[in-house]
Amino acid sequence: MNPIQQYAIVTANYWAFTLTDGALRMLVLLFFYQQGYSPFELALLFVLYEFFGIVTNLLGGWLGARLGLKVTMDVGLILQIVALLMLTLNPDWLTVAYVMVAQALSGIAKDLNKMSAKSSIKSLANDADGTLYKWVALLTGSKNALKGVGFFIGGLLLTTIGFENALYSLAGLLSLALLVSLLFLDNRLGQAKNKPKFTQLFSKSPAINGLSAARFFLFGARDIWFVVALPVYLAGVLGWSHAEIGAYLALWIIGYGLIQAMAPKLTGKQAKTLPTSVTAMKLAFALAAIPVAMGLVLQFETKWVLLVGLMVFAVAFALNSAVHSYLIVAYADADGASKDVGFYYMANAGGRLAGTLLSGYVYQVGGMEACLFLAAAFVVIAGALAGRIAPQEI
C-alpha cells in the first residue's frame, strides 16, 4: 500500500478508538456521579488512566521504534476492548479500586494508540512542502471532533440502553477496527533502522524537553476545569441532564477538533510560514486571558459565560494544541520518531493527571472560578516555557 492508503488506515483506526474513548469517559463520569460520587472521588477514578499514560508514552515510544507501530497500535486496541468488558459486571461490584484498574488499562490503550498514530505520520509525510503539518493537523483535529461525538454517544447510550449494553456496543465497534488493522497495516511502519537502546529514553534535545514541559502545563490547564469541574457544574449547578451534558461537551470537542484541522490555514501552511516556538508562546499568552476574563464574569453571570466563554477558549486552545502537535513531530528524530513523540506525550499525560486531580479538588474547595484562574496560571507557564525554546529550522 502507498503512504496515503496507510495514512487512511491509521486515521480510521484512530477514529474508531477515539469514539470509544470519549464515550467511555462520559459513561464512567455520568454513571458514577449518578451513584453519588463526590467531585474528588470522580477525579480519583481517572488517576490511573492518566498515570499509566505517562509510563505508556515513555515505554511505548521506545517499543514502537523497536517493534514497529503496528504492534503498539494493535495492542492498544486489544487493551481497550478488555477495559470496556471489565466494566460490564454487576454495578454493585464496581468498586472505586476496580474501576481505577479498568481505567488504567484504558489509559495504556489510549496512549499506545495515540503515540502510534502520530508517530506513523513522520514515516509517511514530507515536511518540505507542508504536508507534515497538514496531516498532523488533520489527524489531531478529526480525532478531537470524533472524541466530542464520543462524549455525546456516551451520554446518549447511558440514557437509552444503559451502562452495560453501551459497553458491549463500544467493544464491538473496536473489534472491527482491530480486524482492519491486523489485516492491512504495514508491519514495518515506524521501525527504526538503528534499534534504540533503553538508555536513550531520556536523551532528548533541548527543543523536545522544552516543548514537553510546555505541553505539561498546557494540557493541565485545560483539564483543571474540563475533566470533572465542568460536567459536575453543569449537572449540580445548572441542573442539566446526562444527554444535555454529553451534547454540550460533544459540541465543544467537535468545534475544538475542527479548528485544529484548519490550523494550517489559520496559522500559515507554506514552508516559509510554518509555526515555531515563538508562535507557540504568543498563542499561549493570548489563551491565558480567556479563563481570567471568564472567572471574573462568572461571579455575576453563570450560564452564558460558560456556554459562550468556553467556546472562545476552544478556538484559542485548538490553535495552541495544533501548533504543539506539529512542532513535536517536526522536531522528532526521523529514525524512530516514536521515541521523541512518546516522551512528549508522557509530559502531556502528566499534565492531564495533574489537571484531573486539581479539577476535582479545586472545584470542591473553591468552585469553578478557582479552576479557571488556576488554568490561566498554567497557560502562562506553558507560554513562558515555549518562549525559552530557540527557534530553529525544522
CB-neighbour burial class of residue 93 (10 A; exposed 0-12, middle 13-18, buried 19+): exposed
CB atoms within 10 A of CB 165: 13
Q: Angle CA(230)–CA(234)–CA(240) in degrees, nearest 5?
A: 150
Cα-Cα end-to-end distance for the chain: 28
Question: Helix 338-387 to helix 277-297 angle, to the nearest 10 degrees?
Answer: 60
Average the pLDDT over 372-394 and give the result: 86
Closest CA to 101 of 170, 177, 33, 28: 28
Confidence of residue 86 (pLDDT cuts 50, 70, 90): very high
How far from the centroid of its chain's Cα atoms is residue 119's Cα?
15
The confidence score (pLDDT) of residue 383 equals: 94
User: CA-CA distance, 203 to 339, in Å (whole number)?
Assistant: 10
State the chain's maximal CA–CA distance in angstroms: 60
- 236 vs 264, residue with greater confidence: 236
**Who's near 262: CB < 8 A, 6+ residues apart?**
137, 141
> How many angstroms separate the CA atoms of 332 and 132, rounded?
12
As a whole number of angstroms, the distance between CA 2 and CA 375 comes to 43
Name the pLDDT band for 193 (thresholds 50, 70, 90): low
Dist. CA 357–CA 41, nearest whole Å = 10
Residue 394: pLDDT band (50, 70, 90) is very low
Residue pair 229/359 in contact (Cβ under 8 Å)? The answer is yes
Measure the CA angle with vertex 352, ends 335 and 308; round to 5°. 115
pLDDT digits (tens, 9 = 90+) for 307-332: 788 888 888 998 898 888 888 877 77
291-302: average pLDDT: 84
More confident residue, 243 or 238: 238
Greater pLDDT, 204 or 177? 177
- Phi/psi of residue 214, nearest 5 degrees: -65, -40
Res. 336 pLDDT band, cuts 50 70 90: low
For residues 131 and 94, the model is more confident at 94
- The lowest-confidence range among 14-28, 296-310, 341-355, 379-393 is 296-310
Q: DSSP of 210-258, one letter per residue?
A: HHHHHHHHHHHHHHHHHTTHHHHHHHHTS---HHHHHHHHHHHHHHHHH
**Confidence bin at 382 (pLDDT 50/70/90):** very high
Read off φ and ψ for residue 316, nearest 5 degrees: -65, -40
- 15: cell is 477514529
Secondary structure tally for the chain: helices H, strands E: 14, 0
Percent share of the chain, pLDDT over 90: 20
Pick the residue with more confidence: 140 or 208?
208
Mean pLDDT of all residues in 288-307: 83
Asked whether residue 201 carries a pLDDT value surpassing 60, the answer given is no
Task: Grade residue 92 by pLDDT with cuts at 50, 70 and 90.
Answer: confident
- Looking at residues 31-42, what average pLDDT do you find? 81
**Amino acid 393: pLDDT:** 46
CA 114, 120, 122, 127 dihedral sign is negative
Quickly state the pLDDT bin for 271 (edges 50, 70, 90). very low
Reduce the DSSP state of residue 94 to 3 states and report it: coil
The residue ranges of every structural domain in the chain are 3-184+205-387
Band of residue 196 on the pLDDT scale cut at 50, 70, 90 = low
Give residue 248's pLDDT: 82
- 227 compared with 178, residue with greater pLDDT: 178
- With a cut of 60, say whether residue 335 has pLDDT above it: no
Query: What class, spelled out in words, does domain 3-184+205-387 have in CATH?
Result: mainly alpha
Q: Please tell me the number of Cα atoms within 13 Å of 2 on its side-chain side.
A: 1
- Per-position b or e across 213-234, b if 16+ CB within 10 A of its CB: bbbbbbbbbbbbbbbbbbbbbb
CA 214/CA 216 separation, integer angstroms: 5
CB within 8 Å of 126: residues ≥ 6 apart:
132
